[in-house]
Amino acid sequence: MSVIKKSEAIFFLATSMGKADGELSIDEIKSAFSIPIFAAICNDVDETEISVKIKSGKLNIDSAMAILKQLSKNDRLEAMVVCYSVGISDNVITTGEKELLDKLCVEFGFDNLNEVIDRYKELNKKN
């Protein structure tokens, strides 16, 4: 089995964000795809490979965070923006979504969500 790729780690965290409130909805998926970064990420994810990594336990929240922590602050910010877009897609951030966002902020070295929200708004102005 190959190593976990950046795209797989972000994809996994985004879907985890969607499931944090119980289920991954169509609106959450559409919201993530409204961020150009996520569309590019999905193009790099092989469905069969990622499925094997998830089922084997190799790809989970901890391993995804570990992969992304090794990357640049900008790459970590991109991952946070994708997760944030999924979390707010229904205009409400649930307790589970907030807990995951807070955990990601701490793990990725952000003091709070302000930088993530600012980048999200900047990207949405372009769409």
**Model pLDDT for residues 54-97, shown as the tens digit of each residue:** 999 999 999 999 999 999 999 999 999 989 988 888 788 889 88
d(C-alpha 38, C-alpha 48), whole Å? 18
Q: Which CATH number fits domain 6-125: 1.10.3680.10, 3.90.650.10, 1.10.580.10, 2.30.180.10?
A: 1.10.3680.10
33 within 8 A of 45, measured Cβ to Cβ: no
Find tokens 């990725």 and name the residue: 108
Asked if the model's pLDDT at residue 126 lies above 70, the reply is no
**Model's pTM, two decimal places?**
0.87
Q: What is the percent of the chain with per-residue pLDDT over 90, rounded to a whole number?
A: 54
Find tokens 């336990």 and name the residue: 57
d(C-alpha 44, C-alpha 39), whole Å? 9
Report which secondary-structure segment, H or E, holds 39.
helix 36-43
Asked if the model's pLDDT at residue 22 lies above 80, the reply is no
